[in-house]
């Protein structure tokens, strides 16, 4: 026997270790919590700290593993499990579902386009399943075939993930400024994409990156540099360690100048999460703010031009 009914909530899945910022962001809207999965009534609302949002959850009651798998397959083909408990039963159900390939991406490979649903067991005979989710990756976790020799740090993974989710990235002929670039992980990515990189930091770049073609290094403060000193850029990127409000002022200065077309910046939090400034970034027209798999206590702000 299978019983299915609409579940009048949206699910928001926090990254491992970052449930508290998500709960703070959703505030009084939170109804109940299942592990890292937070439910709030009504349609989806902006939630930067949600790594994967369950857009259309349904409550499914079943008797056997076969019933559970059949209910999921009747909704759609591809499913990823988020587990809190009853892992053995979940594994037996998942075995009856079509296999979903989740191989690490080879950057700049595009993100998957096939719909991927998410499900979890509330108890041995009850599940919540959402055929529609915000991320095409299982539980919103993006994995890459890593380069362990070229980049000078692992920061390059943030940029790979952000570009993959944005669906757009710099290429040959683009001029890009990379603020707070030391030791050069982001500059390394941008140079390999064919862009001309203006790399800015008070500390020196890794010599291997500094020697790469089309890398112009400026050893100075990102905050002392005025847009007119650089000129027009196709992309402005920042991984600078600073308070969020200071980064917001810097971004607004470049927006007002009209000299930068696309933005990709890390909003780093020192101590408490500055939700107000994160919302201010999200409210800039054309923006999205999200927590990447590769992010720590930080968010990524992306603003793309229409062109």
From first to last of the 307 residues of the chain, give the pLDDT tens digit.
Answer: 899 999 999 999 999 999 999 999 999 999 999 999 999 999 999 999 999 999 999 999 999 999 999 999 999 999 999 999 899 999 999 999 999 888 899 999 999 999 999 999 999 999 999 999 999 999 999 999 999 999 999 999 999 999 999 999 999 999 999 999 999 999 999 999 999 999 999 999 999 999 999 999 999 999 999 999 999 999 999 999 999 999 999 999 999 999 999 999 999 998 899 999 999 999 999 999 999 999 999 999 999 987 6
Q: How many CB atoms lie within 10 A of CB 114?
A: 10
For residue 96, the number of C-alpha atoms closer than 13 Å in the C-beta half-sphere is: 15
Phi then psi for residue 58, to 5 deg, are -130, 145
Please state, in angstroms and rounded to a whole number, the distance separating the CA atoms of residues 128 and 7.
Answer: 8
Distance of CA 260 to the CA centre of its chain: 22
pLDDT of residue 102: 80
Quote the tokens at residue 40: 């709030």
Residues 6 or more apart whose CB falls under 8 angstroms from that of 245 comprise: 274, 277
Q: Give Cα separations from 98 to 73, 95, 194 (angstroms).
A: 8, 8, 39
Please state, in angstroms and rounded to a whole number, the distance separating the CA atoms of residues 230 and 140.
Answer: 36
Please state, in angstroms and rounded to a whole number, the distance separating the CA atoms of residues 247 and 57.
Answer: 37
Please state, in angstroms and rounded to a whole number, the distance separating the CA atoms of residues 62 and 81.
Answer: 17
pTM metric for this prediction: 0.94
Q: How many CB atoms lie within 10 A of CB 123?
A: 10
pLDDT of residue 1: 83
3-state secondary structure of 41: strand
**Residue 198 · residue 216 · CB < 8 Å:** yes
Quote the tokens at residue 10: 């949206």
Please state, in angstroms and rounded to a whole number, the distance separating the CA atoms of residues 181 and 193.
Answer: 16
Angle (CA) 221-225-226 rounded to 5° is: 160
pLDDT of residue 307: 60
């Amino acid at each position: 026997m299978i019983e299915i009914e609409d579940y009048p909530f949206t699910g928001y899945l926090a990254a491992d270790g970052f449930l508290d910022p998500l709960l703070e962001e959703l505030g009084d809207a939170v109804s109940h919590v299942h592990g890292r999965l937070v439910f709030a009534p009504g349609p989806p609302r902006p939630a930067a700290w949600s790594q994967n949002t369950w857009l259309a959850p349904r409550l499914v009651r079943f008797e056997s593993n076969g019933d559970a798998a059949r209910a999921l397959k009747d909704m759609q083909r591809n499913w990823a499990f988020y587990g809190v408990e009853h892992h053995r039963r979940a594994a037996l159900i998942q075995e009856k579902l079509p296999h979903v390939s989740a191989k690490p991406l080879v950057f700049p490979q595009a993100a998957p386009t096939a719909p991927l649903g998410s499900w979890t067991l509330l108890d041995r005979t009850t599940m919540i399943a959402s055929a529609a989710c915000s991320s095409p990756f299982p539980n919103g976790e993006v994995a890459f075939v890593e380069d362990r020799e070229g980049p000078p740090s692992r920061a390059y993974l943030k940029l790979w993930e952000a570009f993959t989710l944005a669906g757009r990235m710099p290429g040959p002929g683009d001029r890009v400024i990379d603020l707070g670039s030391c030791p050069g992980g982001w500059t390394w990515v941008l140079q390999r994409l064919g862009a001309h990189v203006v790399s800015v930091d008070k500390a020196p770049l890794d010599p291997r990156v500094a020697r790469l073609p089309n890398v112009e290094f400026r050893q100075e403060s990102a905050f002392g540099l005025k847009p007119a000193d650089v000129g027009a850029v196709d992309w402005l990127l920042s991984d600078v360690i600073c308070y969020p409000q200071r980064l917001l002022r810097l971004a607004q200065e470049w927006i007002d100048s009209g000299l930068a077309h696309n933005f990709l910046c890390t909003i780093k939090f020192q101590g408490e999460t500055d939700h107000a400034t994160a919302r201010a970034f999200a409210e800039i027209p054309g923006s999205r703010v999200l927590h990447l798999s590769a992010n720590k206590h930080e968010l990524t702000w992306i603003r793309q031009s229409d062109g």
